[in-house]
């Protein structure tokens, strides 16, 4: 019988949303259409339309020794072309954002190839070959994983995920990379991910309403969403893991 991954424990809506996002068989719902050009502008690694810079010659031109692993693993387009490695980094508000740092690393490892995801305190970064990154970034921004008001593309000075939302429901950003156009009701980036001003603003769509956010969040929150303690299955699982780790640390005879 084939093994069926469980992804994570929990009987709550939050746990179900986490499993859904991690499962590569689940097709992520597309909610907006940020163009390739606009994704490149937000990341700020190259000018739209410019050639990709390389870290090494294309694989087809290299005289590599015979390797059985190389025959087994198909290189990504970026690796095949010799692209340099670049990154995109996200911050997600604790107030019912649709995704969150640890989950981003998990789901990216399940869904994408040739990546190096990393989770820090309140931020999550993904590094890979540049043309692969641009393709992955479109999924990360255009789908249910992203909300324009509660998720931010922030390469530096990422603080704000744990602060209260402002009067417009926007997550705090010290560099003010994105602002809410109150007349149009859409969020637009006026700076790239490291805070450099853009020549042209990038619209990333309207923020989702509170009902949708509460139904699709992957963050436990006792005040604005689902409390972690109310998810008995998740609590039982984490208590078991914690207990086993403590016992192992003391090297019990039993």
Q: Where are the domains of the chain?
A: 13-249
Provide the CA 185 distance to its chain's centre, in angstroms.
24
Tell whether the torsion through CA atoms of 155, 28, 51 and 178 is positive or negative: negative
Phi and psi, residue 197, nearest 5°: -60, 140
Nearest Cα neighbor of 94 from 10, 164, 152, 166 is 164
Task: State which H helix or E strand residue 200 sits in.
Answer: strand 197-205
Residue 254: pLDDT band (50, 70, 90) is: low
* pLDDT at position 2: 84
Tracing tokens 């990038």 back to the chain, one arrives at: 202
* pLDDT at position 253: 67
The DSSP code for 232 is H
Q: pLDDT digit string (tens) for 191-246? A: 999 999 999 999 999 999 999 999 999 999 999 999 999 999 999 999 999 999 88
Between these two residues, 100 and 253, which has the higher pLDDT value? 100
Residues 213 and 62: beta-carbon distance below 8 Å: no
* pLDDT at position 65: 87
What is the rounded average pLDDT of the residues 38-56? 97
What is the rounded average pLDDT of the residues 71-99? 97
Which residues, at least 6 apart from 55, have a Cβ–Cβ distance to it below 8 Å? 82, 83, 84, 85
Nearest Cα neighbor of 126 from 142, 145, 106, 143 is 106
**b or e along 152-163 (b: 16 or more beta carbons within 10 Å of the residue's beta carbon)?**
bbbbeebebbee
Contacts within 8 Å (CB) and 24+ apart, 213-217: 213/96, 213/97, 213/98, 213/147, 213/150, 214/96, 215/13, 216/17, 216/98, 216/144, 217/14, 217/17, 217/96, 217/97, 217/98
What is the rounded average pLDDT of the residues 130-138? 98
Structure tokens at 197: 């001003």
**Average pLDDT of the residues of the chain:** 95
Structure tokens at 182: 């109150």
Q: pLDDT digit string (tens) for 171-206? A: 999 999 999 999 999 999 999 999 999 999 999 999
13-249: which CATH topology?
Answer: Lambda Exonuclease; Chain A (3.90.320)
* pLDDT at position 82: 97
* pLDDT at position 249: 80
Decide if pLDDT at 145 tops 80: yes
Please report, for the chain, how many H helices and E strands are present, in that order. Answer: 8, 7
Residue 121: pLDDT band (50, 70, 90) is: confident
d(CA 108, CA 114): 10
DSSP structure string for 143-154: BTT--TTTEEE-
d(CA 231, CA 44): 41
């Amino acid at each position: 019988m084939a093994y069926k991954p469980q992804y994570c424990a929990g009987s709550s809506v939050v746990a179900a949303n986490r499993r859904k996002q991690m499962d590569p068989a689940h097709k992520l719902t597309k909610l907006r259409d940020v163009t390739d050009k606009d994704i490149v502008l937000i990341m700020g690694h190259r000018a739209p339309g410019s050639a990709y810079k390389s870290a090494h010659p294309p694989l087809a031109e290299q005289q590599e020794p015979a390797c059985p692993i190389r025959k087994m693993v198909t290189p990504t387009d970026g690796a095949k072309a010799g692209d340099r490695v670049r990154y995109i980094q996200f911050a997600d508000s604790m107030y019912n954002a649709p995704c969150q740092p640890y989950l981003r690393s998990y789901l990216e490892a399940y869904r994408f190839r040739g990546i190096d995801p990393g989770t820090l305190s309140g931020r999550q970064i993904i590094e890979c070959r540049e043309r692969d990154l641009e393709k992955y970034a479109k999924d990360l921004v255009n789908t249910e994983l992203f909300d324009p008001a509660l998720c931010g593309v922030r390469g530096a000075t990422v603080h704000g995920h744990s602060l209260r939302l402002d009067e417009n429901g926007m997550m705090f950003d010290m560099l003010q990379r994105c602002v809410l156009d109150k007349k149009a009701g859409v969020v637009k980036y006026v700076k790239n991910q490291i805070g450099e001003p853009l020549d042209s603003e990038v619209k990333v769509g309207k923020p989702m309403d509170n009902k949708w956010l509460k139904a699709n969040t992957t963050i436990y929150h006792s005040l604005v969403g689902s409390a972690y303690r109310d998810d008995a299955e998740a609590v039982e699982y984490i208590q078991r893991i914690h207990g086993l780790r403590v016992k192992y640390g003391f090297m019990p005879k039993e």
